[in-house]
Amino acid sequence: MFEQLGLIGCGLMGGSFALALKRAGLVRRVVGYSKSPSTTARALQLGVIDVEAPSALLAVSGADLVLLAVPVAATETTLKAIRHLVSPDMLIMDVGSSKRDVVDAARRVLKHDVGVFVPCHPITGREVSGVENADAGLYAGRQVILTPIERTLTTKLDQAVALWRALGCEVVTMSPEAHDAAFAAVSHLPHLLAFALMNSITGQPEGKDYLSMAGPGFRDFSRIAAADPQMWRDVLIANREELARQTEQFQLALAEFQHLIVNGQADELERLINRASHARANWRVSPGAR
Amino acid sequence: MFEQLGLIGCGLMGGSFALALKRAGLVRRVVGYSKSPSTTARALQLGVIDVEAPSALLAVSGADLVLLAVPVAATETTLKAIRHLVSPDMLIMDVGSSKRDVVDAARRVLKHDVGVFVPCHPITGREVSGVENADAGLYAGRQVILTPIERTLTTKLDQAVALWRALGCEVVTMSPEAHDAAFAAVSHLPHLLAFALMNSITGQPEGKDYLSMAGPGFRDFSRIAAADPQMWRDVLIANREELARQTEQFQLALAEFQHLIVNGQADELERLINRASHARANWRVSPGAR
């Protein structure tokens, strides 16, 4: 049980975390801050937070749990804003989709206090954003990746693990580097491809007509293209090196397909599709299959 | 009401069509043929067809409605096999995802009888195939694209329109060329990208680990990668010219993203993602939004 959650960023991820914690009876009071005062006001109105803070620093004042739920590029500025109230009694976590940049920012700003910061990435999200869509069930049944560094305090890590488990999550621990490599492949690149496909189609004169004929396959494939632009801008830039590596791998795989298609090599093409189809048919969303 | 459906190909699409027709009380008898005798036997067992035909020709014997539900590259061979029993009293349709190649095959084989053939593409499907997954509801609420040519008989076209509407479909008519251009963009390219992504990931030594961390975004994006390899082999080759054109457009859109990511141009990148995100958020699967 936490006394006070200092919530910095009252959007979909932050708002849902506050609601989940409340529903699980794990927090007594949520003090929230958002860059936009109207978001903070709305969060209060919706019962997502109990108290509006006029600054990130004041949201942290008196908190034993702090969640940074801001676009990853805002991590450093946010940590600088709260650093004077960071104390050893506090657990600080984030929910960013890239981890090396977040960890580097935490090291730079928190210095000897960096041990209270546990970098987290809950594998969840929705194609809508904003506190209006906050959902107490957003985290339940999902994986959360924790990427502690050498200086992360074991007590803080244990506390974070227990907290996420209490919300119904499966916790996995790995290095920030391993995290960023994996998510470049299974999340950042798919988002990039979905964004590029949407812009490719809408950029054509007949794009609107084409879209009017798209079916359920397109619906599912393109769903992630509706993701939050600000959040994804930061993630794609933060993890650009691993993303470039994955894009290159993808281009090679695509070129292999194109070669067979252009040459009408049906048997080889079927084998290639078969490999993809089998891999996908045998995959299950984590943690169900584990 | 049709006396006899001659069903050639008793897989997911053909089997579901037979079940839908039966449920709607639109057919008295279904005579089915599949290349694999075990599939035909299974279709009989499951009540999808009423009579097993030992050849495509015998499935057509006595039929006033014929559905070709075979991979598109098998269209020509199939039409050749049945051509001696094609009569002016008959409506022949297909369900192929590419249309220019199908129409060309019909012209070549059926010659002066080509008017009884109405080329159809129902915008539906599932990530599983086979008669075991046949579903009477697969077509209801979906769009069906009809691509008649000059020689298509108006009476046959009207009959086809009425039939699909009776199954709960929204019917749209266009040229085979317009169809193939649109579906290269909203279906064939997304399938190709999903196949390539799966193979790109599984081709890496850490691919399995990466996949174990993938979440709901990946699940939806990659769902179409589990599609039927034989069917998609044919579609990608049949529509390779339009597909190449769409792949090129996509590569340009992707390169624009990559340029901004590599250079860390956050504002421009956000604008680009914003365009994609808005387009996707405002899109609804047809025909709901129409």
Q: Which residue of B has its CA nearest to A173?
A: B213
Q: Do A194 and B266 lie within an 8 Å CB cutoff?
A: no
> Counting one residue from A and one from B, how many pairs have CB atoms under 8 Å apart?
317
- For residue A165, give both structure tokens: 């488990």
Q: How far is A239 from chain B (nearest CA, A)?
A: 9
Give the per-residue pLDDT at B285. Answer: 81
Are B50 and B167 in the same domain? Answer: yes
Q: Which residue of A has its CA nearest to B224?
A: A217
C-alpha radius of gyration, chain A, whole number: 21
What is the rounded CA–CA span in Å between residue B218 and residue A227? 13
- Helix locations, A143-213, DSSP H: 154-166, 176-183, 189-202, 207-212
Whether chain A has a CB inside 8 Å of the CB on B139: the answer is: no
**Model confidence over A149-205: pLDDT tens digits?**
999 999 999 999 999 999 999 999 999 999 999 999 999 999 999 999 999 999 999
Neighbours of A159 (CB within 10 A): 18
Q: Which residue of A has its CA nearest to B288?
A: A212
Domain of residue B203: give its range: 178-281
Percentage of chain A modeled with pLDDT above 90: 96
Q: Which residue of A has its CA nearest to B279?
A: A198
Window 90-109 of B, Cβ < 8 Å to A: none
- Counting the structural domains of chain B, the total is 2
- Mutation for A interface: B13, B189, B212, B267, most A CBs within 10 A: B212
Are B26 and B133 in the same domain? Answer: yes
Q: Are B83 and B50 in contact (CB under 8 A)?
A: no
Asked which of A174, A204, A224 is the last residue of a domain, the reply is A174
Secondary structure class of A118 (helix, strand, coil) = strand
Q: How far is A170 from chain B (nearest CA, A)?
A: 11
Kindly report the CATH number assigned to the domain that includes residue A71: 3.40.50.720
Q: Are B7 and B14 in contact (CB under 8 A)?
A: yes
- Residue A6 DSSP symbol: E
Asked which of A174, A193, A209 is the last residue of a domain, the reply is A174
Give the per-residue pLDDT at A288. Answer: 41
What is the rounded CA–CA span in Å between residue A268 and residue A163? 50
Q: Is residue A288 part of a domain?
A: no
Q: How far is B198 from chain A (nearest CA, A)?
A: 5
Kindly report the CATH number assigned to the domain that includes residue A276: 1.10.3660.10
Are B83 and B168 in the same domain? Answer: yes
Full pLDDT tens readout for chain B, 290 residues: 999 999 999 999 999 999 999 999 999 999 999 999 999 999 999 999 999 999 999 999 999 999 999 999 999 999 999 999 999 999 999 999 999 999 999 999 999 999 999 999 999 988 788 999 999 999 999 999 999 999 999 999 999 999 999 999 999 999 999 999 999 999 999 999 999 999 999 999 999 999 999 999 999 999 999 999 999 999 999 999 999 999 999 999 999 999 999 999 999 999 999 999 999 999 988 654 33
Which residues in chain B have their CB less than 8 angstroms from residue A125's CB?
Answer: 215-217
Give the per-residue pLDDT at A38. Answer: 96
Q: Are B86 and B60 in contact (CB under 8 A)?
A: yes
Give the per-residue pLDDT at A289. Answer: 34
Give the per-residue pLDDT at B287. Answer: 56
Give the CA dihedral A223, A225, A229, A235, nearest 10 degrees: 100
Are A44 and A184 in the same domain? Answer: no
Which amino acid, residue B222? S
Are B9 and B134 in the same domain? Answer: yes
Asked which of A144, A174, A204 is the last residue of a domain, the reply is A174
Q: Do A233 and B266 lie within an 8 Å CB cutoff?
A: yes
Give the per-residue pLDDT at B288. Answer: 40
Give the per-residue pLDDT at A287. Answer: 56
**How many residues comprise chain B?**
290
Are A28 and A153 in the same domain? Answer: yes
- For residue A28, give both structure tokens: 């007594």
Which residues of chain A are under the pLDDT cut of 50? 288-290
**Which phi and psi angles does A214 have, rounded to 5°?**
-65, 145
- Helix locations, chain A, DSSP H: 12-23, 37-45, 56-60, 75-82, 100-110, 154-166, 176-183, 189-202, 207-212, 216-222, 229-238, 240-262, 266-281
Are A17 and A145 in the same domain? Answer: yes
